[in-house]
Amino acid sequence: MSHLVLQILPLACGAAISPTLLMIAVLSLSSPVTPLRCGWAVVAGSVLALSVYTVVGLLIGSAFHHSQHKIIDEVIAFAAAALLAGLAFRQYLSLGKPAKGKSLAQRLNQTSPRAYFVAGMATMFVNITSIVLFLPAIRDISKSNAGLGSCVVALAVLFLFLQLPVVVPVGVISVLGKRAMPLLAKLHHDITTYTVQITIGVEIFFFFYFFIKGIVELTS
């Protein structure tokens, strides 16, 4: 069990770094209309979207369970590296460019829990950087011979890590109330300021991770 969890942990940690999801969670908690309900609506939407990705990943993984793992792992590693390189380059080109249209805060200002539910779901669906790390981790779990119990635990850990950007701020406010809002507001400001830089850093790090993994698979 511990071996499988440790195997997917780097990908889980990388996928958990999602500035946009965190921003939406904090924005929901700043809503003048039932902020806690809005916060948990974001969590529910995010959970639903990730559940869809989980089912798709497991179905694809089970379909290739008896295939040549080495070839598939090589393709996944190099494809993930190429996707992350492309995402990092696109993010780099956006540095310094003014945002077009209304900001996320303006679009979600004073909206209902239903709108935040949709926002949480949509953001997770298009959270490509995290999903590029999530699906290979699902692949590692689906091809593992560690046993059903170990696979379930590893999958639960992976799922939980991807939900941390929304669960942590909403959970903190649920427990501590508005006392925690100044801290979350500062966190939101810092994350908003450095969103692109943080995302590029994650993408470049895991580009090398997957590229080196692909080379190792290819030469082993």
Share of the chain above pLDDT 70, in %: 90
pLDDT band per the 50, 70, 90 thresholds, residue 143: confident
How far is 132 from 11, CA to CA, in rounded Å? 9
The mean per-residue pLDDT over the stretch 68-82 comes to 86
The mean per-residue pLDDT over the stretch 179-203 comes to 82
How far is 16 from 23, CA to CA, in rounded Å? 13
Over 60: is that where the pLDDT of 210 sits?
yes
Residues 4-16 have pLDDT tens digits of 999 999 999 999 9
Contacts 24+ apart (CB under 8 A), 110-116: 110/31, 110/32, 110/33, 111/31, 111/33, 111/38, 112/33, 112/38, 113/33, 113/34, 113/37, 113/38, 113/40, 113/41, 114/41, 116/24, 116/28, 116/31, 116/38, 116/39, 116/41, 116/42, 116/45
Residue with the bigger pLDDT between 68 and 11: it is 11
What's the whole-number average pLDDT of the chain? Answer: 86
Q: Among the listed ranges 44-58, 137-151, 198-212, which one has the minimum average pLDDT value?
A: 137-151
∠85-166-199 over CA atoms, to 5°?
A: 20
H or E stretch including 37?
helix 35-63
Over 60: is that where the pLDDT of 103 sits?
no
The mean per-residue pLDDT over the stretch 109-122 comes to 84
Residues 146-158 have pLDDT tens digits of 888 889 999 999 9
Over 70: is that where the pLDDT of 1 sits?
no
Over 90: is that where the pLDDT of 72 sits?
no
Among the listed residues 86, 94, 82, the one whose alpha carbon sits nearest the alpha carbon of residue 196: 94
Entry pTM:
0.87
